[in-house]
């Protein structure tokens, strides 16, 4: 509490100046410094978002400084049946009434059932893909199709989905043709929606992933997690985000961003997350530094032009990544809550 002392009565001159005599004492409350404003969102599409964990119904947003989850993420991809049903965006699904941008992973082929990229390139699965997109159109209903960002064959170059639709170096040609088939079907059946080329920031093979980029995509997507390696400081962060493979292809998110810029595409991040498990094979633990570094990096590059970050969806789902309502990384959650 600050005390201001001034005097009276007040004599006001014709020029607006005044003099005071006597004394009046008033107690005036201290005014705290306001928090610094958040960096602006890119034009057209806000980029702060999350998947699951209360993202769809407003309960996560109520915890955050911005009070906003502006883009969501979901998956219809684990099996051919999931691909066909599009459950999560239809009646009874978590995202059935969502009216903001949404990234939807839709799967691709299913190698465990004998499917191949070569047959996909020849059109063997086009009937199923057409049916899946038709179901997507029905379930999305009257909502604006431009809100949908569709990730086909997400993480084909690494991660847990590689066993389903991974594309090895010998399959690059077939993969590109098949992806372009999907893109053409999406443009026909879901006009106005956006096809995303969706990768992992690591890879199980030694190849330059840039060779795989198909025609007809509207965004370059990359999933990234604080693991392989796990970072806790600036030097580790810079090494991680700038890393490239032995063929010169991008691994870190900054390397992906620079290559997206060269390709004339915005960068999107369908999944990112902290790995809160200190026993994780690729490293993990509570690293609020990583949360702040991601926030700063996204804010620096936010936008909708080539090489700008159009949206980023926090993977608020599995126990090792979830920040709310339960978390293995309370300091990271506190930083996320403050910055997002």
Contact between 308 and 42 under an 8 Å Cβ cutoff? The reply is yes
**What integer best gives the mean pLDDT of the chain?**
88
Strand pairing category for 267-273 and 102-105: unpaired
Identify the sign of the CA torsion 297, 301, 302, 307: negative
Q: Within 10 A of 275 (CB to CB), how many other CB atoms are there?
A: 25
Percent with pLDDT over 70 in the chain: 85
Check residue 11 and give left, alpha or beta (phi > 0: left; psi -120 to 50: alpha): beta
pLDDT score at 51: 87
- Which of 120-134, 204-218, 309-323 has the weakest average pLDDT? 204-218
Greater confidence (53 vs 174) lies with 174
Measure Cα distances from 144 to 1, 106, 140, 196, 303 in Å.
Answer: 52, 19, 8, 17, 21
**Encoding tokens for residue 320?**
């090792």
Distance CA 232, CA 19 (A): 60
**Encoding tokens for residue 185?**
């079907």
- Which of 1-5, 18-22, 103-107, 231-235 has the weakest average pLDDT? 1-5
pLDDT score at 252: 96
pLDDT score at 47: 72
Q: Look at residue 31 and give its three-state secondary structure.
A: coil
Which residue, 48, 288, 315, is CA-closest to 155?
Answer: 315
What does the pLDDT look like over 249-270, one tens digit per residue? 999 999 999 999 999 999 999 9
What global pTM score does this model have?
Answer: 0.86
Strand pairing category for 48-51 and 24-28: unpaired
pLDDT at 107 over 60: yes
Q: For residue 150, list its beta bridge partners.
A: 104, 195
Confidence of residue 13 (pLDDT cuts 50, 70, 90): low
pLDDT at 95 over 80: yes
Phi, psi of 91 (to 5 degrees): -50, 130
Distance CA 260, CA 244 (A): 14
Q: What is the DSSP letter of 237?
A: H
What does the pLDDT look like over 19-75, one tens digit per residue? 545 444 444 344 444 434 434 444 444 577 888 889 999 999 999 999 999 999 999
The label of the residue with tokens 């915005």 reads 266
Q: Which long-range contacts (CB under 8 A, 24 or more apart) does 53-59 make?
A: 53/316, 53/317, 53/322, 53/323, 53/324, 53/325, 54/316, 54/324, 54/325, 55/316, 56/94, 56/95, 56/98, 57/94, 59/325
Distance CA 326, CA 322 (A): 7
pLDDT at 124 over 70: yes
pLDDT score at 34: 43
Measure Cα distances from 178 to 50, 109, 185 in Å.
Answer: 29, 10, 11
**Encoding tokens for residue 126?**
């086009």
Phi, psi of 114 (to 5 degrees): 90, 5
């Amino acid at each position: 509490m600050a005390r201001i002392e001034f005097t009276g009565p007040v004599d006001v001159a014709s020029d607006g100046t005044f003099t005071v005599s006597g004394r009046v004492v008033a107690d005036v409350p201290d005014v705290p410094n306001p928090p610094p404003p958040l960096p602006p969102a890119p034009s057209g599409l806000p980029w702060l978002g999350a998947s699951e964990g209360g993202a769809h119904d407003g309960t996560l947003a109520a915890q955050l400084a911005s009070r906003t989850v502006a883009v969501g993420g979901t998956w219809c991809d684990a099996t051919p049946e999931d691909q066909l049903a599009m459950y999560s965006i239809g009646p009874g699904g978590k995202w059935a009434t969502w009216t903001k941008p949404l990234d939807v992973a839709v799967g691709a082929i299913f190698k465990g059932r004998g499917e191949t990229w070569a047959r996909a390139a020849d059109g063997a699965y086009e009937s199923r893909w057409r049916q899946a997109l038709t179901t997507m159109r029905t379930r999305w209903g009257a909502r604006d199709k431009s809100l949908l960002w569709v990730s086909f064959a997400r993480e084909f170059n690494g991660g847990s989905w590689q066993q389903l639709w991974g594309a090895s170096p010998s399959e690059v040609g077939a993969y590109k043709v098949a992806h372009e088939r999907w893109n053409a079907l999406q443009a026909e059946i879901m006009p106005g929606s956006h096809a995303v080329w969706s990768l992992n920031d690591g890879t199980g093979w030694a190849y330059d992933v840039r060779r795989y980029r198909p025609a007809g995509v509207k965004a370059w997507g990359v999933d990234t997690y604080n693991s392989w390696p796990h970072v806790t400081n600036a030097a580790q962060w810079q090494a991680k985000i700038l890393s490239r493979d032995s063929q010169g292809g991008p691994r870190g998110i900054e390397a992906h961003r620079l290559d997206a810029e060269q390709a004339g595409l915005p960068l999107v991040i369908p999944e990112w997350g902290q790995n809160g498990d200190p026993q994780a094979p690729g490293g993990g633990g509570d690293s609020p530094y990583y949360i702040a570094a991601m926030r700063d990096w996204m804010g620096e590059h936010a936008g909708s032009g080539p090489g700008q970050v159009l949206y980023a969806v926090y993977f608020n789902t599995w126990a090792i990544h979830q920040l709310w309502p339960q978390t293995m990384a309370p300091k990271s959650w506190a930083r996320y809550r403050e910055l997002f």
